[in-house]
């Protein structure tokens, strides 16, 4: 959520910056500043009435003590009128605050200067491409056919038990899934991230804190009875550990990781993009979350990008890094780098990670602050990234490592599975 103080001071700059998203947010920001002016005027009036009421209340005791009963009673009547006026003003101030809050929730984060303008994924910029396309002697099979051939993933059983997008992993398919999770967590541990096993459901305040609510409410599974949400990513519970927290000083760099299943409704998805493991409603992911000083957050972003590169290189996968344009940025992000691996059989790129810097956007919602050198509170910066999401990684591994004899296992995973081939 954008800071109201920032909107007051930089409204025109913010409107211009938000145009990178392909949308004009001037009506919302103009309305916010107009309501904010009204709020400040009412707040000032309220404080004046409260001050007058307090002064008169003190005088009543003196008048009563001096035997000036008539004047004291007149002062009491005046105080009663001021109390009514005070309550009316409190209600008006509260209503204005609510209206401002609703509008602030509708405005996304402002893209950084380095983010290109654009309306869709077609306007994203390829920053780097690493690796070569795998050459096969014959026609490679897509992962859903390989899964059936080697009996390692059962999509039909998932449909029977739950529905589309909820596959069963079995045998060596389950083992390689677990191996990837252990590998990603081990690499995060080496990089200094503290591992958590967080809850898989969060309350509404947590969803609001990281920006999933109200923006993506329709994409989250919701238990209406208890008003709890299944997590779309462990970013939500991990970041919310620090909701309403003031870090004591500037000397902090908080690095968290967590493996969880993730749940997304993915409403509106269809066609070849949802075939096999390409898009699931339940999938496993290891997430990285960082809370940083504003002066160090861009360096942290670079470190996270390099961490994901390292994982893909150790897995021996061809990949590319994209800097997302304004129109393809997530609601809360100031800048995002997407990682895609090449699917040899499908002849297409598959997204496997997004690494994002949110600056103060989440921290403002979370009220996540630190005390600076002057002992004043200041908003932290937050970051997160997938390291990595498993379904499309597994799809790429199955397709890219297939041979006539079976599917080879990347060397880095062998110690986790104790076999070298799926056959």
Summarize the annotated binding site as residue ranges: 233, 264-266, 287, 351-354, 384
Check if the beta carbon of residue 419 is closer than 8 Å to that of residue 408: no
Q: Interhelix angle for 172-190 vs 390-400, to 10°?
A: 120
Closest by Cα among 382, 378, 363 to 290: 382
Extended strands (E) in 293-405: 319-323, 335-343, 348-359, 369-371, 377-379, 381-389, 402-403
Check if the beta carbon of residue 59 is closer than 8 Å to that of residue 79: no
Residues annotated within a binding site for L-serine: 233, 264, 287, 384
3-state SS assignment for residue 347: coil
Residues annotated within a binding site for ATP: 264-266, 351-354
Check if the beta carbon of residue 377 is closer than 8 Å to that of residue 371: yes
Check if the beta carbon of residue 318 is closer than 8 Å to that of residue 341: yes
Closest by Cα among 323, 333, 95, 125 to 210: 333
User: Which residues lie below 8 Å from residue 149, measured CB to CB, with a gap of 6+?
Assistant: 141
What are the DSSP calls for 80-133, one per residue?
A: HHHHHHHHHHHHHHHHHHHHHHHHHHHS-PPPPTTSPP-SSGGG-EEEEEES-P
3-state SS assignment for residue 4: helix
């Amino acid at each position: 959520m954008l800071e109201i103080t920032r909107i007051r001071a930089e409204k025109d700059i913010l409107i211009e910056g938000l145009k990178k998203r392909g949308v004009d947010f001037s009506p919302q920001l103009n309305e916010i500043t107009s309501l904010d002016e009204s709020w400040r005027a009412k707040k000032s009036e309220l404080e004046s009435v409260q001050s007058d009421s307090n002064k008169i209340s003190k005088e009543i005791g003196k008048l009563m003590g001096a035997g000036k009963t008539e004047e004291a009673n007149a002062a009491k009547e005046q105080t009663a009128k001021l109390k009514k006026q005070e309550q009316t003003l409190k209600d008006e101030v509260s209503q204005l605050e609510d209206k401002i809050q609703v509008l602030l929730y509708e405005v996304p984060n402002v893209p950084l200067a380095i983010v290109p303008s654009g309306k869709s994924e077609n306007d994203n910029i390829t920053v780097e491409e690493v690796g070569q396309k795998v050459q096969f002697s014959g026609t490679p099979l897509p992962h859903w056919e390989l899964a059936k051939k080697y009996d390692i993933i059962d999509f039909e059983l998932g449909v029977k038990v739950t529905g589309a997008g909820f596959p069963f992993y079995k045998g060596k398919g389950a083992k390689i899934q677990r191996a990837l999770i252990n590998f990603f967590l081990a690499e995060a541990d080496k990089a200094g991230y503290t591992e958590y096993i967080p809850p898989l459901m969060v309350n509404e305040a947590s969803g609001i804190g990281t920006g999933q609510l109200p923006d993506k409410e329709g994409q989250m599974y919701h238990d209406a009875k208890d008003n709890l949400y299944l997590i779309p990513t462990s970013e939500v519970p991990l970041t919310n550990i620090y909701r309403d927290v003031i870090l004591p000083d500037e000397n902090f760099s908080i690095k968290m990781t967590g493996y969880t299943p993730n749940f997304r409704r993915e409403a509106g998805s269809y066609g070849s993009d949802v075939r096999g493991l390409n898009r699931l409603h339940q999938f496993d992911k290891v997430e990285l979350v960082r809370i940083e000083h504003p002066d160090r957050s861009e360096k942290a972003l670079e470190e996270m990008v390099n961490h994901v590169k390292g994982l893909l290189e150790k897995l021996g996968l061809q990949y590319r890094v994209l800097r997302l344009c304004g129109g393809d940025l997530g609601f809360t992000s100031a800048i995002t780098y997407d990682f895609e691996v090449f699917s040899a059989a499908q002849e297409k790129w598959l997204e496997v990670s997004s690494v994002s810097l949110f600056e103060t956007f989440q921290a403002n919602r979370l009220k996540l602050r630190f005390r600076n050198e002057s002992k004043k509170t200041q908003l932290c910066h937050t970051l997160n990234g997938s390291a990595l999401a498993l379904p499309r990684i597994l799809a790429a591994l199955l397709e890219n490592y297939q041979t006539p004899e079976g599917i080879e296992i990347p060397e880095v995973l062998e110690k986790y599975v104790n076999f070298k081939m799926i056959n």
